A and B are shown apart, each in its own frame.
Chain A
């Protein structure tokens, strides 16, 4: 019940394309869903987050779509750029920010 399942494990997208990463969860007590971005040699950093009372949140080229009934959420990166190449983690949590993370997606944007 505590798991968050993330797919795909790796993704290659051409520059200018759309990158899509999907996550699914079981625990309906989760009440926030952040996405983290991690560059090599660095710790993860918060990219964008959503709470379950909204179905979509957009920040620049990054959009989270949230489907509460399906218990799924996804990250869309529009107009993907080589600088977006990184590992992305979805996560879910409630209270005390004890997050449960997905397995990670290594995204490569080809120039």
Chain B
């Protein structure tokens, strides 16, 4: 079974705090993704990485950065959290198939007060 593990399921932070969301995969896949899920807006791509130290902006990168120092680990960083970043964050890896299959973690629900 594919495992995509998001270490923090629930976080509560204060405005201005630095936030790290970590994602670890056990499949040795190149492509890793961070999505944000909000009601009525679906899933929106924040950043993705196709190799170690390689990253590319998604559709909503503002206010976020990422780090990929090792192939299995992809971190999402909020340098200075704001209330509008309260959301569910989902990490995913690609399956390598041609059907658009991504394997998702269970999500990290972040509340910024």
Q: Which A residues fall within an 8 A CB radius of B?
A: 2, 6, 9, 32-34, 41-46, 49, 51, 89, 91-93, 96-104
CB contacts (< 8 Å) of B107 on chain A: these are: 41-43
Contact with A along B5-44 (1 / 0, CB 8 A): 0000000000000000000000000010101000111111
Contact A33 B42 (CB under 8 A): no
Total number of residue pairs linking A and B with CB closer than 8 Å? 74
Q: Which B residues fall within an 8 A CB radius of A?
A: 4, 31, 33, 35, 39-45, 48, 50, 58-59, 90, 92, 94-95, 98-102, 104-107
Contact B48 A46 (CB under 8 A): no
Contact A32 B41 (CB under 8 A): no
A49 to B106, CA, bound (A): 21
Contact A34 B101 (CB under 8 A): yes
Contact B98 A99 (CB under 8 A): no
What is the distance, in angstroms, from B107's C-beta to the closest C-beta of chain A? 6
